[in-house]
A and B are shown apart, each in its own frame.
Chain A
């Protein structure tokens, strides 16, 4: 009796105190602040015009933003919400972003506007509405409305959304795919009125002859809206002129026979950039021909089970891509700089590991994010 009492009590105290200490001890391990890019190939000077950002966890509920350049690193206190995977920008405007953390976004000097189609549609909810929120930057006044989108049935999925500005008015566009394949993808463009109501402007059929047409993200360039359409047989560049409402499908090279899925699509003053099957392609804006003479593929691709592009940016004829490679439960991140016109690899470097410190993957630091 006495003996069991001693055993019981000592076990209680040992494990309870152990729990308390185990949990409290966490704060005593400092986060490793040594961040440096490891050269793999080429000259690091190629990274002159880019910077990287990521978020690390330094303590319970304490996060810092890491700003990494080619030979320097800087830390800034920041806010982060692990549950939703969102950072400072969302957490400083909770009223606007609530329930729509990953909305498509448009921002100018006067206001920020976000829009997201009902995320439960069509499985959890059959209401076809889009939530549009607009926040004035000077007065902080918020307008947030659920707007019914006409002409959408419950056998359709929204695969792409975009907000863009044209001639001083804001447009909301969405790509719809029907689930049974009866109707090909359709692009709908609506003009957003001052009371946030939608006015139907344009409906464009995006389907190609194949069984299933994949639509890349939408990009705007001046008065034109672009996207890549692809199926098993071919790829087309869709151009929609917003002034004349005319649309044309341009022929572009097929690039990859195996994979119709467009991982990335961007445009700048000189070229279109796209990523198919882990390879980058540069397309001339006037002739729609492939510009790069070599296939732009990182050299470490064979070292991993799979490699996928995470982020991309471009400056002065140089194309920068962040890749993530995964093998044996370890994922590594790399930055690769390509010469856009020739396809040569200018630089390849391994980004510092975020294991045991990071909560978000590296992205290119953009002016609007800082």
Chain B
């Protein structure tokens, strides 16, 4: 079997679920955004009436609205996207684990196929990355859709220009949902691969050693999480934090990938 076929089988399985999640992400985000924007519109109209001038006159006296003043001051739409992201992580884990748990027929078939067993690992990894890169795409798509939607809700003359680009550059909340620069995109991908490898160590160790493997897997997962949290409690400035996070990610990535490779090749039996 070709590598691409492996990937395709995995993707086809998650496709309906992903589609559902993405529809929720888009409809939910746009719905909450429209509500927030129309609240602001209502307040502006009210203020104009109170100031005793016409709406046009009033609009000239106030600053232009950008996504910063709509989304960052009430981050509900972003919180919703964070929940969708969390659901995707749990779903990814469930998919990986479900197949290996118990006497699934599929995993026997996969393991008995000729060729490198590491293909199973990499094909799942590609599917896992696909989930997140498309999620980032959906978030950006949401922002672009909102930049059109806002024109129907707020008066044109108070909407700032380059809404999406400026929001990506200046928002303090968006970086919690998606990477906002080339560098952080690279880091996020490395971090996702690391998370996947840690999960794989757990799944594969569990498969090859049962109870002891499961305990070992838990300890491994727990200690990486503990080290990560410890590093983040240090009083580091952003530039230092970037270096420390990269070092942590690359180290854990190397350890867990090679350990997964070893388990898959030598320990996991049919």
Of the candidates B12, B169, B180, the one having the most CB atoms from chain A within 10 angstroms of its own CB is B169
- Residue B181 at the A interface, CB < 8 A? yes
Q: Please tell me if the beta carbons of B181 and A15 are within 8 angstroms of each other in the complex.
A: no
Which residues of A76-92 are within 8 A (CB) of B?
A: 81-84, 86, 91
- Residue A8 at the B interface, CB < 8 A? yes
Q: Please tell me if the beta carbons of A24 and B170 are within 8 angstroms of each other in the complex.
A: no
Tell me if B's interface is mostly helix, strand, loop or mixed.
Answer: helix
Q: Please tell me if the beta carbons of B8 and A5 are within 8 angstroms of each other in the complex.
A: yes
Which residues of B216-245 are within 8 A (CB) of A?
A: 235, 237-241
- Residue A4 at the B interface, CB < 8 A? yes
- Residue A253 at the B interface, CB < 8 A? no
CB distance from A306 to the nearest CB of B (A): 14
How many angstroms from the CA of A330 to the CA of B239 in the assembled complex? 31
A356 closest partner in B (C-beta): B166
Q: Which residues of A contact B239 (CB under 8 A)?
A: 81
B64 closest partner in A (C-beta): A355
Interface stretch (choices B79-87, B132-140, B251-259): B132-140
CB distance from A351 to the nearest CB of B (A): 11
Contact with A24, one of B51, B141, B182 (Cβ below 8 angstroms): B182
Interface stretch (choices B39-47, B94-102, B192-200, B205-213): B39-47
Q: Please tell me if the beta carbons of B185 and A20 are within 8 angstroms of each other in the complex.
A: yes
- Residue A57 at the B interface, CB < 8 A? yes
Q: Please tell me if the beta carbons of A18 and B137 are within 8 angstroms of each other in the complex.
A: yes
Q: Please tell me if the beta carbons of B11 and A16 are within 8 angstroms of each other in the complex.
A: no
How many angstroms from the CA of A86 to the CA of B162 in the assembled complex? 28
Q: Please tell me if the beta carbons of B170 and A357 are within 8 angstroms of each other in the complex.
A: yes
Contact with B133, one of A5, A15, A353 (Cβ below 8 angstroms): A15
CB distance from B66 to the nearest CB of A (A): 5
Q: Please tell me if the beta carbons of B68 and A355 are within 8 angstroms of each other in the complex.
A: yes
Q: Which residues of A contact B178 (CB under 8 A)?
A: 19
How many angstroms from the CA of A8 to the CA of B73 in the assembled complex? 37
Q: Which residues of B contact A8 (CB under 8 A)?
A: 8, 11-12, 15
Which residues of A3-44 are within 8 A (CB) of B?
A: 4-5, 8, 11-12, 14-16, 18-20, 22-26, 28-29
Q: Please tell me if the beta carbons of A15 and B165 are within 8 angstroms of each other in the complex.
A: no
CB distance from A37 to the nearest CB of B (A): 14
Q: Which residues of B contact A330 (CB under 8 A)?
A: 62-63, 65, 69
Q: Which residues of A contact B44 (CB under 8 A)?
A: 328
CB distance from B221 to the nearest CB of A (A): 27
Q: Which residues of A contact B63 (CB under 8 A)?
A: 330, 332, 353, 355
Q: Which residues of B contact A250 (CB under 8 A)?
A: none
- Residue B107 at the A interface, CB < 8 A? no
User: 1/0 contact trace for B70-83 toward A, CB 8 Å?
Assistant: 10011000000000
Give the size of the chain A interface in residues (CB under 8 angstroms): 42
Query: Contacts A15-B137, A19-B133, A329-B40: A57 and B165 contacting too (C-beta < 8 A)?
Result: no
Give the size of the chain B interface in residues (CB under 8 angstroms): 49
Which residues of B130-170 are within 8 A (CB) of A?
A: 130, 133-134, 136-138, 140-141, 160, 162, 164-166, 168-170
A56 closest partner in B (C-beta): B170
- Residue B183 at the A interface, CB < 8 A? yes
CB distance from B30 to the nearest CB of A (A): 17
How many angstroms from the CA of A357 to the CA of B238 in the assembled complex? 20
Q: Please tell me if the beta carbons of B40 and A26 are within 8 angstroms of each other in the complex.
A: no
Q: Please tell me if the beta carbons of A82 and B172 are within 8 angstroms of each other in the complex.
A: yes
Q: Please tell me if the beta carbons of B8 and A329 are within 8 angstroms of each other in the complex.
A: no
Q: Please tell me if the beta carbons of B140 and A22 are within 8 angstroms of each other in the complex.
A: yes
How many angstroms from the CA of A98 to the CA of B141 in the assembled complex? 39
Q: Please tell me if the beta carbons of B165 and A82 are within 8 angstroms of each other in the complex.
A: no
- Residue A99 at the B interface, CB < 8 A? yes
Q: Please tell me if the beta carbons of B165 and A19 are within 8 angstroms of each other in the complex.
A: no
Q: Please tell me if the beta carbons of A29 and B165 are within 8 angstroms of each other in the complex.
A: yes
Q: Please tell me if the beta carbons of A23 and B238 are within 8 angstroms of each other in the complex.
A: no
- Residue B179 at the A interface, CB < 8 A? yes
CB distance from A116 to the nearest CB of B (A): 12
Q: Which residues of A contact B47 (CB under 8 A)?
A: 327-328
Q: Please tell me if the beta carbons of B181 and A60 are within 8 angstroms of each other in the complex.
A: yes
How many angstroms from the CA of A11 to the CA of B12 in the assembled complex? 13
Q: Please tell me if the beta carbons of A329 and B170 are within 8 angstroms of each other in the complex.
A: no
B43 closest partner in A (C-beta): A328
Q: Which residues of A contact B70 (CB under 8 A)?
A: 329
B164 closest partner in A (C-beta): A22
Q: Please tell me if the beta carbons of A98 and B185 are within 8 angstroms of each other in the complex.
A: no
Q: Please tell me if the beta carbons of B66 and A11 are within 8 angstroms of each other in the complex.
A: no
Query: Contacts A60-B183, A91-B237, A329-B69: A19 and B136 contacting too (C-beta < 8 A)?
Result: yes
How many angstroms from the CA of A99 to the CA of B241 in the assembled complex? 14
Q: Which residues of A contact B73 (CB under 8 A)?
A: 329
How many angstroms from the CA of A328 to the CA of B70 in the assembled complex? 10
CB distance from B96 to the nearest CB of A (A): 19
Closest 4 CB pairs of A and B: A15-B137, A99-B235, A60-B181, A22-B140
Q: List 11 A-B contacts (CB under 8 A).
A: A8-B8, A8-B15, A16-B137, A19-B140, A23-B140, A26-B165, A98-B235, A332-B63, A353-B64, A355-B64, A355-B66
Binding site for B on A (CB under 8 A): 4-5, 8, 11-12, 14-16, 18-20, 22-26, 28-29, 57, 59-61, 81-84, 86, 91, 94, 98-99, 303, 327-330, 332, 353, 355-357, 359
Binding site for A on B (CB under 8 A): 8, 11-12, 15, 40, 43-44, 47, 51, 62-66, 68-70, 73-74, 130, 133-134, 136-138, 140-141, 160, 162, 164-166, 168-170, 172, 178-183, 185, 235, 237-241
